[in-house]
Chains A and B, each alone.
Chain A
Amino acid sequence: MAEHNHHFDPAEMEEWYDFTSSSKRKLIIGMLAGLATLLIGAFLVAKGWGIGLNHVHEHAEHAAHGHEAHHGLPAWGKRVVGNLWMNAEFFTGISVIGMFFVAIQYLSWAGWSSIIKRIPEAFPAFIPFSGAIMLVLYVAFGHEIFHWRHEGIMDPESEHYDAIIAGKSWYLNNAFFLIRTVLYLGSWYGLWVYLRNLSKQEDAIGGTEWWYKMKYLSRIFILVFAVTSSTCAWDWAMSIDTHWFSTMFGWYHFASWHVTGLAVTTLSVIFLKEKGYLPAVNENHLHDLGKFMFAFSIFWTYVWFAQFLLIYYANLPEETIYYKERFGGYGGIYKAPFFINLFMGFLVPFLWFMTRDAKRNFTFLKVGSFAIIIAHYFDFYQMMMPGLVGANGGFGLIEWGTTLFFACAFIYVISAQLTKASLVAKNHPMLEEAVHHDI
């Protein structure tokens, strides 16, 4: 238990993160290596020598799904676009969860987290980058990503006309989709910029008024995010398989983002701690983060299972096709990601983080956090890839390269953002409570 220090001095809590030039160099090399791997992978797949390329030609199933080859890009191009889209969405999610975490802390009057809140607070800085990639991809290759953007699919005269998809045209149309995407990204980022400024002003000026202002802003963000976290999931992920829909999907998609964001937060805190930063953060704070990961892994499983079970019970062909594609469709290439996701997203965190000691041990936390991140990477992979590339999917250099590129870019942007404010919000009114946090 922490010794009671009756001489708490906020000024002493201030500390600045040093983003060294060697770290910058390594991350840039990582980004370039990722891009290079992506290009080599794309080249190999284009030449037909690809690692992880599956020579499966299940035309029957392919056609049944409606993804006929009546559009531009070759298989390797679709796979590159698909990977970029999937990673951009995954990392946008981790970023916005940083803001969500901070907002939840304000709304729940949480004191313990005030000492680590600057770390998730830095995450949304990545939204403009991943958001820009998403917008460019949508404008340039939207017809490759989304079934409902296919040529002539909403035109009754066309041979590709699909009455079911045409019936959704009031929502799934080009202009409205772009407006929504810009609104999601803009509102999340805009509210974050505002919150971040208030947070910096709190450091500079002090007093409790900033806390109340940030709480008010958090309330607005939660209201916005309550709607947009669901609708963005419909737009960005669920509409890839346009025929299929699930009322659980918004929650499921959000739960996956949330638990990944918590794991990234935990890893960042431990990383900073091991570099010698955040001396006042101890196993009590990490215990709380561990509990969050444990609880929200179960929450994700609950939502995952609820979605699965409704479809399983009802056994309607137009719904079960979604799971059929993942269990055994396309030569079974999505079976492994599907089960990696389920086991590492539920069973591993559930058993790994169950005991108190595990949640207070840095090594345990690191291993568990990585398991969660990998699990939910594969969650997004199996959510999108069957619809994006179908039988031309796989896990090879393209996937490794894209993920490496995004991970390094994310770490770079977040590290740069961390240097812009003290690592500890020194004038947070509940900081002393966090210093004495004991559970």
Chain B
Amino acid sequence: MDTNKRFLVGVYDDDDEVMAAVKTVRASGIKIHDVYTPFPVHGLDKAIGHPRTRIPMVAFMFGTLGLITMFVFTLYTMRLDWPMNIGGKDYYALPDFIPPMFEFTVLFTAFGMVFTFFITNGLWWGNKAVIFDLRSTDDKFVMAIDTASNQKSEAEIEKALRETGAIEINVKEIVEEED
């Protein structure tokens, strides 16, 4: 079944303007879906009210997983399955195995973060990108508001966008495919 999501899309000309607009629009009680800009605007994510990213937690967990994986692997291969005496040291001489454990920690952290980032941002094969306005990759700053998730009427939202300096306001319907 397909569901349609209806968005009001305000197009702005300037990064300072869109920053001020985000604050005003939010203060008037309208929930913003997201803002798309041609370059990173510092502090915009906080102004929109996006929750802080949890990617550091992911990084820590993947790192720990990598560390444990290599610890178990070296322990199994070098001590349990086929004990080898290297340089007359103990069978499991820990310092010898710190470099691979370190490398696996780094590897798992990096890959884990990248894949988590891709998945949470909907960047997987076959996924269609949601583009509210193509010009947000060039010189326009685009604020998208989900009409269904807002208490205010479309007319009120449109008025708020207009008053904060949007040069044009479009309606965009996004078709979400569900399978």
- Which positions in A face B, CB cutoff 8 Å? 1-2, 4, 305, 308-309, 312-313, 315, 354-356, 436, 438
The distance from the CB of B51 to the nearest CB of chain A, in whole angstroms, is 14
Measured CA separation A305–B16 after assembly (Å): 49
With the chains together, A313 CA to B86 CA distance in Å?
9
- Given known pairs A438-B42, A438-B43, the reply for A305 and B87 (CB within 8 Å) is no
B60 touching A309, Cβ below 8 Å: no
CA distance A309 to B101 in the complex (A): 14
Is B68 an interface position by the 8 A CB rule? no
**A-B contact list, 17 entries, CB within 8 Å:** A1-B42, A1-B43, A1-B46, A1-B47, A2-B43, A4-B16, A305-B98, A308-B95, A312-B95, A312-B96, A315-B88, A354-B60, A355-B56, A356-B56, A436-B42, A438-B42, A438-B43
B56→A309 contact, CB < 8 A: no
Give residues in B with beta carbon < 8 Å to A.
16, 19, 42-43, 46-47, 56, 60, 87-89, 95-96, 98-99
B98 touching A309 by the CB < 8 A rule?
yes
Shortest CB-to-CB span from B16 to chain A, Å, is 7
Q: Which residue of A lies closest to B89 (CB)?
A: A315
Q: How far is the CA of A385 from the CA of B42 in the complex (A)?
A: 50
**Measured between alpha carbons, how far is A4 from B41 in the docked complex, in Å?**
12
Question: Is B87's CB under 8 angstroms from A313's CB?
Answer: yes
Q: Distance (Å) between the CB of B105 and the closest chain A CB?
A: 12
* A354 vs B43: C-alpha distance when bound (angstroms): 22
- Which A residues are in CB contact (< 8 Å) with B56? 355-356
A4 to B46, CA, bound (A): 15
Contacts of B42 on A, CB cut-off 8 Å? 1, 436, 438
Known: A1-B43, A312-B95. 9 other contacts (CB 8 A): A1-B42, A1-B46, A4-B16, A305-B98, A308-B95, A309-B99, A313-B96, A315-B87, A355-B56
**In the assembled complex, which residues on chain B have CB atoms less than 8 Å from the CB atom of A354?**
60
Report A-chain residues with C-beta under 8 Å of the C-beta of B88.
Answer: 315
Chain B residue numbers with a CB within 8 Å of A4 are 16, 19
How far does the alpha carbon of A261 sit from the alpha carbon of B43 in the complex, in Å? Answer: 31
Taking CB atoms, residues of chain B closer than 8 Å to A1 are 42-43, 46-47
